[in-house]
Structure 1
Amino acid sequence: MTPAIRLQAALELMHEVDSAPRPADAVVSAWFRARRYIGDKDRGYILEVHYALLRHHARLGWWLARHGREDVPRKRLLAWLALKEGKTPDQIERLFNGAKFAPAMLTDHEHALLVKLQGSTIDHPGMPEEVRLECPSWAVDPLRRRFREAFGQEMAAHLTPAPLDLRVNPIKSTREAMLGALRDHGLRAQASAMAPYGIRVDERPSLASLPMLRTGEVEIQDEGSQLVAMLVDARPGERVVDFCAGAGGKTLAIAAQMNNKGHIVACDVMDGRLKRGAERFRRAGLHNIETRFLASETDRWVKRHKGGFDRVLVDAPCSGTGTWRRNPDARWRAPEEQGLDSLVSLQARILASAARLVKPGGRLVYATCSMLSEENEEQVAAFLAAHPAFRAVPLNEAAPQLTNSAHSDYLSLTPARNGTDGFFAAVMQREGPRPGGPPTAIRDPFPE
């Protein structure tokens, strides 16, 4: 592809993402699957432009509004070429030349915009801090309360691309073997700092070129997500539930912890995601996993299996603020339409329902990929206050090897502090039987 054709392809992808209600990564994957003729180098450039535009969304919008222009994909691309790439109007005009498969020629109005932008850079002293840091208005106050004077540093860390983290499947291989295999492919790979089966690759290879992904020897999983699964501390022979399993990333890690022994149930309210997970389980050589579709968080299956599991993980739906490096479009899509308060209420309901599954002496792990206190510490505090049968297990007891958490009692990770996505996890234990007495009862908040 010529540079002009690449830009036109990036523009078409931008239109597709803007018009679709789905997350950008799903739209991007489908878009490229329909265009398998695009080579790796061209694909890499198109993706680079696409995600750069998402990471500069607020700043580009600010510049367009400043000059009275509509915020649409073509205008965003023109502004990015001028402000971030430093191209002159004449250079851009040679790319937007109207040739076959190239962008349409510039209009007089567009050329005038480029003249006004010439000599400027993407940042401007007149920008509000939240615009410069690409922080959506709904999240500014909660994140300022969470980070205080570190707000700017933390938000700036979210503007950098996320690394490629892999988790080795110990059922099929070892970290040492996979490090060697990746290096044989010419990749700069190193062991993760905290996750015992983690590998960080310091570049973005074509995933199709990595055979260990196809064989199930490794899975793509952020190091923070690996640590959440590690906190479950599932043992061989135990009964475990991954209550909001999705496509099964943490289920895979937990099943491997159990060395394929015992039983783990992967639950979700989205049947399609469970089916995708089932294929990953087979590829990984894991056969101790059952998938279970739930009609809702209070599905009757939960009541029928009260007190039946040693470990229950609730990886709750959340605002996704911790994943903004990896999913830069998420900051403009979250929280759900009903707002943060509605999301927090849903999390509380899911947590209360899943807690019924924990046996006396068993553990409940609540996790999010959010950095908002409302979804994390405050959510756990409210649960513990309402459920005296549970106590918080301090992090130094649950995982003494994790010493770099921002919170002393809970796992709390951020990109700026830990180099991972933003994650939170709390371990809670249901108290066992009192001496000479019955187990501490759990009040069922969802009577028939």
Structure 2
Amino acid sequence: MTPSAQVSAVIELLLNIQNQRHAPADATANRFFRQRRYIGGGDRRYVSAQIWEILRHYRKLQWWLKRVGSPINPRMMVSTFLVLSGQSVKEVSKLFSGEKYAPLPLKQNEELYLLSLEGKSFFSKEMPNAVKFEVPDWLYPLLEEQYADSIETELTALLEPAHLDLRVNTLKGDDRSTIKEKLKLEGIISTEMQFSPWGLRVEGRQSITSTNLFKEGDIEIQDEGSQLIALMTGATSQMRVLDFCAGAGGKTMAMAMMMQNKGHIIASDVSEVRLGAAQRRLRRAGAFNVETHQFVEGAKWIKRRIKSFDRVLVDAPCSGTGTWRRNPDARLKFRQIDLAELIAKQADILRSAATMVKEGGRLIYATCSLLQQENQYQIEQFLENHPDFHLVPPDTAEGLLPKEFTQHPTFQLTPAQYKTDGFFCAVLERKVSKVELS
């Protein structure tokens, strides 16, 4: 594709994302490229990279366009992005040539809008902080109250692109150092993670899913924070484990690996589609100690297993604020009513999951959220209503987790502090009933 054709594709894809606002941007982008097989790999990478950068600067682009009185549409957002990225209006005009596959030429008023932005950057001192950090106006005061003096550091890190994190699947036999060398042979350079004993971090955009190691199940794509959540369960080969909100099974697979394919795991989710994806991933990973069940209130499998699990993991549905580096479009859709609904849903899920934990067993609550309303406050409310549970440090096998994660019953990861996605985790234990002796 010519540079002009690439710009046309960026504009068209941005329009599709705006028109399908209820769908995740990555799903819209995947559909866009599937319908345009003629777009080669290099062009796809360019268009995707531009779109994701535009989504990271979305509110700022809108702010500048409003400031100069311009209409806000994909065409002006893309051209403004190019100008604020350092291109001159003259260079942008050449891309908007109107020739085959190129965007229509810039109109006189469009050129005037862009000329007034030439030489400026994405940021302005007059820009409200909520715009500067790309968060909803209603959410910024909550974050400011929570993070106080460190808010700029935290929210700046949340604007940066995320790393590509991998988990080595030891069920296949190879350890981390061996897989690192095998990746190198496939042209992929990785470094060992600081916290996860299974983790490798890859710089830049790499096509991991096309590697033999991925196809054979030797590696999985999984953020380091997510790997740490699995470790916090302390799951061992003698245990019965319930992954209550298993989704597509990322943490289920990690726990199966921890249990060396022994013991028993049930992966449950309300979505049959997600469980189908989990089953395919589990087969590829060689995890055979897992059965899957769709969660339906009152189902027989639930009634038969009340108070029977050593570990129950609740990876609760949440705002996903901790993953905004990967999903910058999500921050644009997050509403105050969404947070209220999520908090109520999380409380319901915790109550249901707690009934499955046996005496002396543990309930591990996790979110990929940065918000204390979904995290610390949620746990405080649960403990107030469930005096038979109490917070305890994890009992993960010695050496698997750094001390800073084993000495406390909760942790909050943020991109700024740990270079991971934002995750919260709390470990709770059901107390053993005292037996009265007559």
Scaled by the length of structure 2, the TM-score of the pair is 0.94
Query: Structure 1 370/406 Cα, relative in aligned 2: closer, same or farther at 3 Å?
Result: farther
Listed as ranges, the matches of 1:36-435 within 5 Å are 36-84=37-85, 86-172=86-172, 173-295=174-296, 301-335=301-335, 338-394=337-393, 401-404=401-404, 408-435=408-435
User: How many pairs were matched up?
Assistant: 434
CA distance in 1, matches of 2:29, 2:141: 31
Which range moved further: 111-120 or 389-398?
Answer: 389-398
CA distance in 1, matches of 2:161, 2:346: 29
Listed as ranges, the gaps of 5+ residues in structure 2 are: none
Secondary structure of the 1:171 match is: helix
CA distance in 1, matches of 2:223, 2:253: 13
Listed as ranges, the gaps of 5+ residues in structure 1 are: 438-448
Secondary structure of the 1:310 match is: strand
Q: Are 1:302 and 1:353, in contact at CA under 8 Å, matched by a contact in 2?
A: no
CA distance in 1, matches of 2:318, 2:206: 30
Secondary structure of the 1:363 match is: strand
Which range moved further: 238-247 or 27-36?
Answer: 27-36
What is the aligned-residue RMSD (CA, Å)? 2.0
The alpha-carbon deviation at position 110 of structure 1 amounts to 1.3
Q: Are 2:394 and 2:406, in contact at CA under 8 Å, matched by a contact in 1?
A: no
Query: Structure 1 69/399 Cα, relative in aligned 2: closer, same or farther at 3 Å?
Result: farther
Q: Are 2:248 and 2:277, in contact at CA under 8 Å, matched by a contact in 1?
A: yes
Which range moved further: 162-171 or 254-263?
Answer: 254-263
Which range moved further: 237-246 or 312-321?
Answer: 237-246
CA distance in 2, matches of 1:395, 1:304: 27
The alpha-carbon deviation at position 138 of structure 1 amounts to 2.9
Which amino acid is 1:387 matched to?
A: H
Which amino acid is 2:170 matched to?
A: P
The alpha-carbon deviation at position 100 of structure 1 amounts to 1.6
Secondary structure of the 1:138 match is: coil
The alpha-carbon deviation at position 188 of structure 1 amounts to 2.4
CA distance in 1, matches of 2:29, 2:291: 30
Secondary structure of the 2:139 match is: helix
4+ residue runs of structure 1 moved beyond 6 angstroms? 396-400
Which range moved further: 420-429 or 239-248?
Answer: 239-248
CA distance in 1, matches of 2:189, 2:313: 33
Q: Are 1:192 and 1:223, in contact at CA under 8 Å, matched by a contact in 2?
A: yes
Q: Are 1:303 and 1:356, in contact at CA under 8 Å, matched by a contact in 2?
A: no
Q: Are 1:361 and 1:432, in contact at CA under 8 Å, matched by a contact in 2?
A: yes
Q: Are 1:395 and 1:402, in contact at CA under 8 Å, matched by a contact in 2?
A: no
Q: Are 1:396 and 1:409, in contact at CA under 8 Å, matched by a contact in 2?
A: no
Secondary structure of the 2:247 match is: coil
The alpha-carbon deviation at position 70 of structure 1 amounts to 2.8
The alpha-carbon deviation at position 2 of structure 1 amounts to 1.1
CA distance in 1, matches of 2:139, 2:107: 37
The alpha-carbon deviation at position 407 of structure 1 amounts to 10
Secondary structure of the 1:213 match is: helix
The alpha-carbon deviation at position 290 of structure 1 amounts to 1.2
The alpha-carbon deviation at position 28 of structure 1 amounts to 1.8
Query: Structure 1 407/114 Cα, relative in aligned 2: closer, same or farther at 3 Å?
Result: farther
The alpha-carbon deviation at position 396 of structure 1 amounts to 8.6
CA distance in 2, matches of 1:345, 1:299: 22
Which range moved further: 97-106 or 212-221?
Answer: 97-106
Which amino acid is 1:153 matched to?
A: T
Secondary structure of the 2:361 match is: strand
CA distance in 1, matches of 2:433, 2:395: 24
Query: Structure 1 403/147 Cα, relative in aligned 2: closer, same or farther at 3 Å?
Result: farther
The alpha-carbon deviation at position 232 of structure 1 amounts to 1.0
CA distance in 1, matches of 2:145, 2:130: 14
The alpha-carbon deviation at position 406 of structure 1 amounts to 13
Which range moved further: 184-193 or 318-327?
Answer: 184-193
Which amino acid is 1:52 matched to?
A: E
Identical-residue share of aligned pairs (%): 44
CA distance in 2, matches of 1:46, 1:65: 25
Q: Are 2:314 and 2:363, in contact at CA under 8 Å, matched by a contact in 1?
A: yes
In the TM superposition, what whole-angstrom CA distance separates every residue of 1:228-276 from its partner, at most 9, and x where no partner exists?
0111111113211111111111111111111111211111111111111
Q: Are 1:267 and 1:293, in contact at CA under 8 Å, matched by a contact in 2?
A: yes
CA distance in 2, matches of 1:393, 1:33: 48
Secondary structure of the 2:213 match is: helix
Which amino acid is 2:51 matched to?
A: H
CA distance in 2, matches of 1:435, 1:198: 44
Q: Are 1:187 and 1:203, in contact at CA under 8 Å, matched by a contact in 2?
A: no
The alpha-carbon deviation at position 122 of structure 1 amounts to 1.1
Scaled by the length of structure 1, the TM-score of the pair is 0.92
Query: Structure 1 236/396 Cα, relative in aligned 2: closer, same or farther at 3 Å?
Result: closer
Which range moved further: 424-433 or 130-139?
Answer: 130-139
Query: Structure 1 373/331 Cα, relative in aligned 2: closer, same or farther at 3 Å?
Result: same
CA distance in 2, matches of 1:371, 1:256: 28
CA distance in 1, matches of 2:405, 2:99: 54
Which amino acid is 1:348 matched to?
A: A
The alpha-carbon deviation at position 112 of structure 1 amounts to 1.6
In the TM superposition, what whole-angstrom CA distance separates every residue of 1:111-156 from its partner, at most 9, and x where no partner exists?
1211111121111111012211112223212211221100000000
